[in-house]
Amino acid sequence: MGRTCKGLCLRYKAEPVSNKIRYEIGQKHCTFCGLFLKLDETRCICCKAVLRTKSRSKKKNRELSIPLINIDHKIHSL
């Protein structure tokens, strides 16, 4: 609520590079401030909006660690 651009983003403004490599080199886009920023944060330090990253998450295929102990080992005794 009440997002405002305080101009802080200008301090972290990323250097102009090709759009193709912007995300690859770690630049993040604040859609609110309309700038590419050089930040480690996930949110804009200026307006607190979530920064846009295009990083293809390596964790996309999350390994679901389902314990196999649920298998019923009970032997059906006749």
Residue 21 one-letter amino acid: I
Q: Is 44 in the site for Zn ion (CB under 5 A)?
A: yes
Q: Is 9 in the site for Zn ion (CB under 5 A)?
A: yes
Interface residue with Zn ion, options 23, 26, 32, 53 (CB under 5 A): 32
Give the count of residues interacting with Zn ion (CB under 5 A).
Answer: 8
DSSP string, 5-30: --SGGGGGBPPP--HHHHTTTTEEEE
∠ CA 17-18-21, rounded to 5°: 95
CB of 65 to Zn ion, least distance (A): 37
Q: Which residues bind Zn ion (CB under 5 A)?
A: 5, 9, 30, 32-33, 44, 46-47
